[in-house]
Structure 1
Amino acid sequence: MTQPRPKTFTLEVWGDYACFTRPELKVERFSYPVITPSAARAIFDAIYLEFDKKSGKPAHRWEISKVEVLSSVRYVALMRNEVKEKVSVSSVKKWMKDASGLTPIYADATMAEAGTDTKGRTQRQTMALKAPRYRLHGQAVLFDDNLETRQKIERSFERRARRGQCVWQPYLGCREFSAAFELVEPGGTAPMTHEPIAHNEDIGWMLYDVFDLSRPGGSGDAARVSLFEAEIRGGVMSVPPYLSGQVHKP
Protein backbone atom coordinates (compact mmCIF):
# COMPACT_ATOMS: atom_id res chain seq x y z
CA MET A 1 0.00 0.00 0.00
CA THR A 2 1.40 3.38 -1.02
CA GLN A 3 1.79 5.83 1.85
CA PRO A 4 0.02 9.17 1.25
CA ARG A 5 2.19 12.22 0.69
CA PRO A 6 2.92 14.25 3.84
CA LYS A 7 0.61 17.22 4.17
CA THR A 8 2.22 20.64 4.04
CA PHE A 9 0.84 23.18 6.53
CA THR A 10 1.06 26.93 6.11
CA LEU A 11 1.23 29.32 9.04
CA GLU A 12 1.23 33.10 8.92
CA VAL A 13 3.19 34.45 11.90
CA TRP A 14 3.92 37.97 13.04
CA GLY A 15 5.01 40.03 16.03
CA ASP A 16 6.26 43.41 17.20
CA TYR A 17 9.92 42.39 17.26
CA ALA A 18 12.15 39.43 16.40
CA CYS A 19 15.80 38.50 16.78
CA PHE A 20 17.29 35.45 15.05
CA THR A 21 20.82 35.82 16.35
CA ARG A 22 23.77 35.22 14.07
CA PRO A 23 26.03 32.76 15.94
CA GLU A 24 29.18 34.69 14.97
CA LEU A 25 27.76 37.82 16.68
CA LYS A 26 26.31 36.35 19.85
CA VAL A 27 27.74 38.73 22.49
CA GLU A 28 26.09 41.77 20.95
CA ARG A 29 23.10 40.17 19.27
CA PHE A 30 22.57 40.89 15.56
CA SER A 31 19.62 39.29 13.79
CA TYR A 32 19.52 37.53 10.46
CA PRO A 33 17.25 39.44 8.04
CA VAL A 34 14.74 36.59 8.06
CA ILE A 35 13.57 33.83 10.39
CA THR A 36 15.82 30.75 10.59
CA PRO A 37 14.51 27.20 9.96
CA SER A 38 15.10 26.30 13.62
CA ALA A 39 13.04 29.27 14.87
CA ALA A 40 10.28 28.39 12.41
CA ARG A 41 10.38 24.75 13.54
CA ALA A 42 10.01 25.88 17.15
CA ILE A 43 6.75 27.68 16.27
CA PHE A 44 5.34 24.45 14.80
CA ASP A 45 6.58 22.57 17.90
CA ALA A 46 4.74 25.02 20.14
CA ILE A 47 1.44 24.16 18.47
CA TYR A 48 1.79 20.38 18.47
CA LEU A 49 4.53 17.80 18.95
CA GLU A 50 3.78 14.10 19.25
CA PHE A 51 5.87 11.93 21.60
CA ASP A 52 6.58 8.21 21.46
CA LYS A 53 4.88 6.48 24.40
CA LYS A 54 7.70 3.99 24.98
CA SER A 55 10.79 6.19 24.73
CA GLY A 56 9.23 9.50 25.72
CA LYS A 57 11.09 11.16 22.84
CA PRO A 58 9.52 13.01 19.89
CA ALA A 59 7.88 10.74 17.32
CA HIS A 60 8.49 13.26 14.55
CA ARG A 61 10.03 16.61 13.70
CA TRP A 62 8.72 19.55 11.74
CA GLU A 63 10.66 20.35 8.57
CA ILE A 64 10.35 23.81 7.03
CA SER A 65 10.38 23.90 3.22
CA LYS A 66 9.77 27.57 2.47
CA VAL A 67 9.61 30.97 4.17
CA GLU A 68 7.80 33.89 2.59
CA VAL A 69 8.74 37.37 3.83
CA LEU A 70 5.55 39.44 4.02
CA SER A 71 6.85 42.69 5.55
CA SER A 72 9.83 44.94 4.89
CA VAL A 73 13.11 43.99 6.56
CA ARG A 74 13.59 46.75 9.14
CA TYR A 75 16.14 46.78 11.96
CA VAL A 76 15.80 48.48 15.32
CA ALA A 77 18.49 48.86 18.02
CA LEU A 78 17.44 47.73 21.50
CA MET A 79 19.24 47.65 24.84
CA ARG A 80 18.18 44.60 26.82
CA ASN A 81 18.94 43.25 30.28
CA GLU A 82 20.07 39.62 30.13
CA VAL A 83 20.95 37.21 32.92
CA LYS A 84 24.32 35.48 32.72
CA GLU A 85 23.29 32.21 34.33
CA LYS A 86 20.31 30.32 35.67
CA VAL A 87 19.68 27.87 38.47
CA SER A 88 19.86 24.24 37.35
CA VAL A 89 17.12 21.72 38.08
CA SER A 90 19.59 19.41 39.86
CA SER A 91 20.62 22.25 42.21
CA VAL A 92 17.01 22.95 43.13
CA LYS A 93 16.43 19.27 43.95
CA LYS A 94 19.49 19.26 46.23
CA TRP A 95 18.33 22.40 48.03
CA MET A 96 14.89 20.85 48.58
CA LYS A 97 16.58 18.01 50.48
CA ASP A 98 19.15 20.16 52.30
CA ALA A 99 18.59 23.92 52.45
CA SER A 100 21.96 24.49 54.15
CA GLY A 101 23.67 24.21 50.79
CA LEU A 102 21.52 26.93 49.19
CA THR A 103 23.62 29.20 46.96
CA PRO A 104 21.36 31.74 45.27
CA ILE A 105 22.23 33.64 42.11
CA TYR A 106 22.12 37.40 42.56
CA ALA A 107 20.82 39.26 39.52
CA ASP A 108 21.70 42.71 40.89
CA ALA A 109 24.03 42.16 43.81
CA THR A 110 26.77 44.23 45.37
CA MET A 111 30.16 42.73 46.15
CA ALA A 112 29.25 42.53 49.85
CA GLU A 113 26.08 40.56 49.10
CA ALA A 114 27.40 38.15 46.49
CA GLY A 115 31.07 38.06 47.44
CA THR A 116 32.04 38.96 43.89
CA ASP A 117 32.06 42.01 41.66
CA THR A 118 30.38 40.12 38.80
CA LYS A 119 26.64 40.72 38.67
CA GLY A 120 24.22 38.15 37.30
CA ARG A 121 22.61 40.64 34.96
CA THR A 122 24.20 42.49 32.06
CA GLN A 123 23.06 44.95 29.42
CA ARG A 124 23.54 44.00 25.79
CA GLN A 125 22.90 45.73 22.52
CA THR A 126 20.48 43.96 20.18
CA MET A 127 19.89 44.68 16.52
CA ALA A 128 16.39 43.23 16.18
CA LEU A 129 13.80 43.14 13.42
CA LYS A 130 10.79 45.43 13.69
CA ALA A 131 7.24 44.25 12.92
CA PRO A 132 8.22 41.05 11.05
CA ARG A 133 5.62 38.94 9.28
CA TYR A 134 6.21 35.58 7.61
CA ARG A 135 4.37 32.73 5.96
CA LEU A 136 5.90 29.39 6.94
CA HIS A 137 5.45 26.13 5.05
CA GLY A 138 6.25 22.91 6.90
CA GLN A 139 5.43 19.24 7.17
CA ALA A 140 5.86 16.46 9.70
CA VAL A 141 8.76 14.04 9.18
CA LEU A 142 8.24 10.89 11.24
CA PHE A 143 11.18 8.94 12.64
CA ASP A 144 9.19 5.70 12.29
CA ASP A 145 6.60 6.46 9.64
CA ASN A 146 3.22 4.78 9.77
CA LEU A 147 -0.15 5.93 8.50
CA GLU A 148 -2.01 5.96 11.83
CA THR A 149 0.59 8.11 13.62
CA ARG A 150 0.90 10.49 10.67
CA GLN A 151 -2.85 11.01 10.50
CA LYS A 152 -2.98 11.69 14.24
CA ILE A 153 -0.17 14.27 14.04
CA GLU A 154 -1.57 16.06 11.01
CA ARG A 155 -5.16 16.14 12.28
CA SER A 156 -4.12 17.28 15.75
CA PHE A 157 -1.87 20.03 14.39
CA GLU A 158 -4.52 21.26 11.96
CA ARG A 159 -7.21 21.34 14.64
CA ARG A 160 -5.05 23.16 17.18
CA ALA A 161 -3.60 25.65 14.69
CA ARG A 162 -7.08 26.48 13.38
CA ARG A 163 -8.25 27.24 16.94
CA GLY A 164 -5.10 29.20 17.83
CA GLN A 165 -4.11 26.66 20.50
CA CYS A 166 -0.50 26.09 21.54
CA VAL A 167 1.38 24.25 24.29
CA TRP A 168 3.52 27.31 24.98
CA GLN A 169 3.55 30.82 23.54
CA PRO A 170 5.47 30.81 20.23
CA TYR A 171 8.21 33.39 19.93
CA LEU A 172 10.37 34.97 17.24
CA GLY A 173 13.92 34.04 18.15
CA CYS A 174 13.92 35.34 21.74
CA ARG A 175 11.25 34.35 24.25
CA GLU A 176 10.29 37.96 25.04
CA PHE A 177 9.43 38.53 21.37
CA SER A 178 6.13 36.63 21.33
CA ALA A 179 4.55 35.60 18.04
CA ALA A 180 0.95 35.47 16.88
CA PHE A 181 -0.01 32.82 14.33
CA GLU A 182 -2.86 31.82 12.06
CA LEU A 183 -3.38 28.72 9.96
CA VAL A 184 -3.65 29.51 6.25
CA GLU A 185 -6.05 27.25 4.38
CA PRO A 186 -7.18 27.47 0.74
CA GLY A 187 -10.70 28.87 0.94
CA GLY A 188 -10.50 29.00 4.75
CA THR A 189 -10.96 31.82 7.22
CA ALA A 190 -7.37 33.01 6.77
CA PRO A 191 -6.75 33.34 3.02
CA MET A 192 -3.36 34.45 1.70
CA THR A 193 -4.05 38.20 1.76
CA HIS A 194 -0.37 39.20 2.04
CA GLU A 195 2.06 38.80 -0.82
CA PRO A 196 5.83 38.28 -0.45
CA ILE A 197 7.75 41.55 -0.67
CA ALA A 198 10.04 42.38 -3.56
CA HIS A 199 13.27 41.58 -1.74
CA ASN A 200 16.40 39.80 -2.95
CA GLU A 201 19.38 39.08 -0.71
CA ASP A 202 22.27 36.65 -0.52
CA ILE A 203 22.39 35.90 3.19
CA GLY A 204 25.28 33.42 3.08
CA TRP A 205 25.71 30.80 5.77
CA MET A 206 22.60 30.57 7.95
CA LEU A 207 21.91 28.43 10.99
CA TYR A 208 19.68 25.51 10.00
CA ASP A 209 19.31 23.95 13.46
CA VAL A 210 21.19 23.30 16.69
CA PHE A 211 20.03 19.68 17.10
CA ASP A 212 20.61 16.44 15.20
CA LEU A 213 17.32 16.15 13.34
CA SER A 214 18.11 12.73 11.88
CA ARG A 215 16.99 10.95 15.05
CA PRO A 216 14.72 11.51 18.07
CA GLY A 217 16.42 13.84 20.51
CA GLY A 218 16.33 14.41 24.24
CA SER A 219 16.88 17.31 26.60
CA GLY A 220 20.36 16.06 27.49
CA ASP A 221 21.65 15.89 23.92
CA ALA A 222 24.70 17.93 23.00
CA ALA A 223 24.36 20.67 20.41
CA ARG A 224 24.93 19.67 16.79
CA VAL A 225 24.89 22.80 14.64
CA SER A 226 24.01 22.56 10.95
CA LEU A 227 24.22 25.31 8.33
CA PHE A 228 23.04 26.03 4.80
CA GLU A 229 23.59 28.76 2.23
CA ALA A 230 20.49 30.94 2.34
CA GLU A 231 19.18 33.43 -0.16
CA ILE A 232 15.97 35.40 -0.58
CA ARG A 233 14.53 35.69 -4.08
CA GLY A 234 11.37 37.67 -4.64
CA GLY A 235 10.67 37.64 -0.91
CA VAL A 236 10.92 33.83 -0.70
CA MET A 237 13.60 31.75 1.03
CA SER A 238 13.64 28.09 0.01
CA VAL A 239 14.84 25.70 2.72
CA PRO A 240 16.47 22.38 1.71
CA PRO A 241 15.56 19.11 3.49
CA TYR A 242 17.74 18.38 6.51
CA LEU A 243 19.04 15.10 5.08
CA SER A 244 20.08 16.67 1.76
CA GLY A 245 23.66 17.51 0.85
CA GLN A 246 22.79 21.22 0.84
CA VAL A 247 22.69 21.18 4.65
CA HIS A 248 26.20 21.08 6.10
CA LYS A 249 26.49 19.04 9.30
CA PRO A 250 29.40 18.26 11.65
Structure 2
Amino acid sequence: MKSYLVIFVFLLAACLGIKAQPVLSFTKAVYTTGKDSLPYRLLYPLHYNKHKQYPLVLFLHGAGQRGTDNETQLTGVPKALTDTAGREKYPCFILIPQCPKNDVWVKFPHFPENIQTTELPTRSAQAALATLDSLIKQLPIDRKRVYITGYSMGGEGTFDLLTRRPHLFAAAIPICSVADTARARLIYQTPIWAFHGDQDDVNEVKYSRLMIAALKKFNGTPIYTEYPGLKHNIWSKAYNEPGLFEWLFEQRRRLF
Protein backbone atom coordinates (compact mmCIF):
# COMPACT_ATOMS: atom_id res chain seq x y z
CA MET A 1 0.00 0.00 0.00
CA LYS A 2 2.82 2.38 0.87
CA SER A 3 4.48 1.96 -2.53
CA TYR A 4 1.19 2.77 -4.31
CA LEU A 5 0.87 5.93 -2.24
CA VAL A 6 4.38 7.08 -3.22
CA ILE A 7 3.61 6.48 -6.91
CA PHE A 8 0.35 8.39 -6.57
CA VAL A 9 2.12 11.38 -5.00
CA PHE A 10 4.69 11.56 -7.81
CA LEU A 11 1.97 11.24 -10.49
CA LEU A 12 -0.07 13.96 -8.83
CA ALA A 13 2.98 16.23 -8.66
CA ALA A 14 3.65 15.63 -12.35
CA CYS A 15 0.03 16.43 -13.29
CA LEU A 16 0.12 19.65 -11.29
CA GLY A 17 3.46 20.69 -12.75
CA ILE A 18 5.22 20.43 -9.40
CA LYS A 19 8.90 19.57 -9.55
CA ALA A 20 9.44 16.65 -7.19
CA GLN A 21 12.37 17.02 -4.79
CA PRO A 22 14.56 14.03 -3.93
CA VAL A 23 14.27 12.71 -0.40
CA LEU A 24 17.45 13.46 1.50
CA SER A 25 19.13 10.37 2.85
CA PHE A 26 20.96 11.29 6.04
CA THR A 27 22.80 8.30 7.44
CA LYS A 28 21.83 7.82 11.09
CA ALA A 29 24.50 6.70 13.56
CA VAL A 30 25.81 7.09 17.11
CA TYR A 31 29.41 7.77 18.07
CA THR A 32 30.33 5.94 21.27
CA THR A 33 33.46 6.18 23.37
CA GLY A 34 33.63 4.91 26.95
CA LYS A 35 30.48 6.08 28.76
CA ASP A 36 29.76 8.86 26.27
CA SER A 37 27.69 8.63 23.13
CA LEU A 38 26.62 11.22 20.57
CA PRO A 39 23.89 10.71 17.96
CA TYR A 40 24.68 12.15 14.56
CA ARG A 41 23.44 12.32 11.01
CA LEU A 42 25.65 12.34 7.93
CA LEU A 43 24.69 13.42 4.42
CA TYR A 44 26.87 12.06 1.63
CA PRO A 45 27.68 14.15 -1.44
CA LEU A 46 25.34 13.90 -4.39
CA HIS A 47 26.74 11.48 -7.02
CA TYR A 48 29.14 10.21 -4.36
CA ASN A 49 32.33 8.66 -5.71
CA LYS A 50 34.57 6.98 -3.15
CA HIS A 51 37.58 7.69 -5.34
CA LYS A 52 37.12 11.46 -5.09
CA GLN A 53 37.78 13.76 -2.14
CA TYR A 54 35.04 16.03 -0.83
CA PRO A 55 34.78 18.90 1.64
CA LEU A 56 32.90 18.39 4.90
CA VAL A 57 30.65 20.84 6.74
CA LEU A 58 30.14 20.34 10.49
CA PHE A 59 26.76 21.84 11.45
CA LEU A 60 25.94 22.62 15.10
CA HIS A 61 22.32 23.11 16.11
CA GLY A 62 20.85 25.45 18.72
CA ALA A 63 19.75 24.76 22.31
CA GLY A 64 16.18 23.94 21.34
CA GLN A 65 17.26 20.99 19.22
CA ARG A 66 19.10 19.11 21.97
CA GLY A 67 18.05 15.55 22.71
CA THR A 68 18.66 11.95 21.70
CA ASP A 69 16.09 11.39 18.93
CA ASN A 70 18.72 11.95 16.21
CA GLU A 71 16.12 13.89 14.24
CA THR A 72 15.55 17.33 15.76
CA GLN A 73 19.08 18.56 15.06
CA LEU A 74 18.26 18.64 11.34
CA THR A 75 16.28 21.83 12.01
CA GLY A 76 17.99 24.81 10.46
CA VAL A 77 20.38 22.91 8.20
CA PRO A 78 21.08 25.29 5.28
CA LYS A 79 18.75 24.54 2.38
CA ALA A 80 21.38 26.08 0.11
CA LEU A 81 23.40 22.91 0.75
CA THR A 82 20.60 20.35 0.80
CA ASP A 83 18.25 21.31 -2.03
CA THR A 84 18.82 19.89 -5.51
CA ALA A 85 20.68 22.90 -6.87
CA GLY A 86 22.86 23.21 -3.78
CA ARG A 87 23.86 19.56 -3.74
CA GLU A 88 24.81 19.77 -7.42
CA LYS A 89 26.81 22.96 -6.88
CA TYR A 90 28.43 22.09 -3.56
CA PRO A 91 28.96 18.32 -3.29
CA CYS A 92 30.08 17.74 0.28
CA PHE A 93 29.60 15.68 3.40
CA ILE A 94 27.41 17.33 6.06
CA LEU A 95 27.90 16.13 9.64
CA ILE A 96 25.14 17.01 12.12
CA PRO A 97 25.70 15.78 15.70
CA GLN A 98 23.03 16.14 18.39
CA CYS A 99 23.90 17.52 21.81
CA PRO A 100 22.02 15.91 24.74
CA LYS A 101 19.64 18.02 26.81
CA ASN A 102 21.92 17.94 29.86
CA ASP A 103 24.86 19.48 28.02
CA VAL A 104 25.84 22.33 25.68
CA TRP A 105 28.41 22.83 22.93
CA VAL A 106 30.32 25.32 25.09
CA LYS A 107 30.08 26.59 28.68
CA PHE A 108 30.56 30.13 29.97
CA PRO A 109 30.72 29.47 33.75
CA HIS A 110 30.57 33.13 34.80
CA PHE A 111 28.27 34.53 32.12
CA PRO A 112 27.21 37.35 31.92
CA GLU A 113 29.88 38.73 34.25
CA ASN A 114 32.48 37.52 31.74
CA ILE A 115 32.59 35.39 28.63
CA GLN A 116 35.49 33.13 29.51
CA THR A 117 34.93 29.50 28.54
CA THR A 118 35.94 26.39 30.44
CA GLU A 119 39.53 25.17 30.19
CA LEU A 120 38.41 21.99 28.45
CA PRO A 121 35.64 21.59 25.86
CA THR A 122 32.34 20.11 27.02
CA ARG A 123 31.84 16.36 26.72
CA SER A 124 29.49 16.87 23.77
CA ALA A 125 32.01 19.11 22.01
CA GLN A 126 34.74 16.54 22.58
CA ALA A 127 32.48 13.82 21.19
CA ALA A 128 31.63 15.94 18.14
CA LEU A 129 35.32 16.47 17.41
CA ALA A 130 36.04 12.78 17.95
CA THR A 131 33.23 11.88 15.55
CA LEU A 132 34.68 14.24 12.97
CA ASP A 133 38.19 12.83 13.42
CA SER A 134 36.85 9.31 12.97
CA LEU A 135 35.00 10.18 9.76
CA ILE A 136 38.04 11.95 8.32
CA LYS A 137 39.97 8.69 8.72
CA GLN A 138 37.20 6.57 7.19
CA LEU A 139 35.89 8.68 4.31
CA PRO A 140 37.43 10.51 1.32
CA ILE A 141 37.32 13.92 3.01
CA ASP A 142 39.54 16.74 1.81
CA ARG A 143 41.40 17.68 4.99
CA LYS A 144 42.08 21.16 3.65
CA ARG A 145 38.35 21.81 3.26
CA VAL A 146 36.71 21.02 6.60
CA TYR A 147 34.26 23.76 7.60
CA ILE A 148 32.14 24.54 10.65
CA THR A 149 28.92 26.49 11.12
CA GLY A 150 26.08 26.79 13.60
CA TYR A 151 23.47 29.13 15.03
CA SER A 152 22.72 30.35 18.56
CA MET A 153 24.21 27.70 20.89
CA GLY A 154 25.66 26.18 17.73
CA GLY A 155 27.20 29.52 16.80
CA GLU A 156 28.83 29.59 20.21
CA GLY A 157 30.06 26.06 19.60
CA THR A 158 31.36 27.10 16.20
CA PHE A 159 33.66 29.70 17.71
CA ASP A 160 34.67 27.42 20.58
CA LEU A 161 35.48 24.31 18.52
CA LEU A 162 37.36 26.53 16.12
CA THR A 163 39.59 27.73 18.96
CA ARG A 164 40.03 24.18 20.29
CA ARG A 165 41.21 22.90 16.90
CA PRO A 166 42.44 25.93 14.93
CA HIS A 167 44.45 23.75 12.52
CA LEU A 168 41.48 21.56 11.61
CA PHE A 169 38.96 23.98 10.12
CA ALA A 170 39.42 25.93 6.90
CA ALA A 171 36.64 28.45 7.61
CA ALA A 172 33.70 29.12 9.91
CA ILE A 173 30.21 30.67 9.81
CA PRO A 174 29.03 31.48 13.38
CA ILE A 175 25.52 32.94 13.66
CA CYS A 176 24.10 35.00 16.58
CA SER A 177 26.70 33.71 19.00
CA VAL A 178 28.68 34.49 22.12
CA ALA A 179 32.44 33.86 22.07
CA ASP A 180 35.45 34.03 24.39
CA THR A 181 37.36 37.03 23.07
CA ALA A 182 40.51 35.94 24.94
CA ARG A 183 40.77 33.03 22.49
CA ALA A 184 40.67 35.25 19.39
CA ARG A 185 44.45 35.07 19.17
CA LEU A 186 44.13 31.38 18.30
CA ILE A 187 41.91 31.85 15.25
CA TYR A 188 42.49 35.32 13.82
CA GLN A 189 44.04 33.81 10.67
CA THR A 190 41.02 31.57 9.99
CA PRO A 191 38.48 32.93 7.47
CA ILE A 192 35.29 33.74 9.41
CA TRP A 193 31.97 35.18 8.26
CA ALA A 194 29.82 35.99 11.30
CA PHE A 195 26.19 37.13 11.49
CA HIS A 196 24.02 38.83 14.11
CA GLY A 197 20.75 40.75 14.35
CA ASP A 198 21.18 44.10 16.07
CA GLN A 199 17.96 43.61 18.07
CA ASP A 200 18.85 40.09 19.29
CA ASP A 201 17.02 39.50 22.58
CA VAL A 202 18.71 36.16 23.37
CA ASN A 203 22.40 36.72 22.62
CA GLU A 204 22.99 40.46 22.57
CA VAL A 205 24.64 41.80 19.43
CA LYS A 206 27.49 43.21 21.50
CA TYR A 207 28.99 39.72 21.80
CA SER A 208 29.60 39.35 18.08
CA ARG A 209 30.87 42.92 17.91
CA LEU A 210 33.34 42.17 20.70
CA MET A 211 34.67 39.03 19.01
CA ILE A 212 35.00 40.70 15.62
CA ALA A 213 36.92 43.55 17.26
CA ALA A 214 39.16 41.05 19.07
CA LEU A 215 39.96 39.24 15.82
CA LYS A 216 40.78 42.52 14.09
CA LYS A 217 43.04 43.48 16.99
CA PHE A 218 45.31 40.62 15.88
CA ASN A 219 45.06 41.80 12.26
CA GLY A 220 42.43 39.21 11.41
CA THR A 221 40.10 39.97 8.52
CA PRO A 222 36.71 38.47 9.49
CA ILE A 223 33.59 39.30 7.50
CA TYR A 224 30.73 40.51 9.67
CA THR A 225 27.11 40.98 8.60
CA GLU A 226 24.73 42.65 11.04
CA TYR A 227 21.03 42.75 10.25
CA PRO A 228 19.33 45.98 11.41
CA GLY A 229 16.00 45.54 13.17
CA LEU A 230 16.21 41.75 13.41
CA LYS A 231 16.22 39.67 16.58
CA HIS A 232 17.64 36.21 17.29
CA ASN A 233 16.06 34.05 14.61
CA ILE A 234 18.25 35.10 11.66
CA TRP A 235 19.89 31.86 10.56
CA SER A 236 17.64 31.23 7.57
CA LYS A 237 18.37 34.73 6.31
CA ALA A 238 22.10 34.34 7.00
CA TYR A 239 22.33 31.02 5.18
CA ASN A 240 20.66 32.67 2.17
CA GLU A 241 23.13 35.55 2.13
CA PRO A 242 24.33 36.01 -1.48
CA GLY A 243 27.80 34.62 -2.03
CA LEU A 244 28.07 32.95 1.38
CA PHE A 245 28.65 29.37 0.28
CA GLU A 246 30.69 30.38 -2.76
CA TRP A 247 32.97 32.09 -0.24
CA LEU A 248 32.97 29.12 2.12
CA PHE A 249 33.94 26.47 -0.41
CA GLU A 250 36.70 28.65 -1.83
CA GLN A 251 38.53 28.52 1.50
CA ARG A 252 41.39 26.11 2.03
CA ARG A 253 43.04 25.40 5.36
CA ARG A 254 46.06 27.56 5.80
CA LEU A 255 49.41 26.39 7.08
CA PHE A 256 50.20 28.43 10.18
Please report the TM-score for the alignment, with normalisation by the length of structure 1: 0.26
| Structure with greater contact order relative to length (CA < 8 Å, sep ≥ 6) | 1
Please report the TM-score for the alignment, with normalisation by the length of structure 2: 0.26
Question: Which of the pair is proportionally richer in helix?
Answer: 2
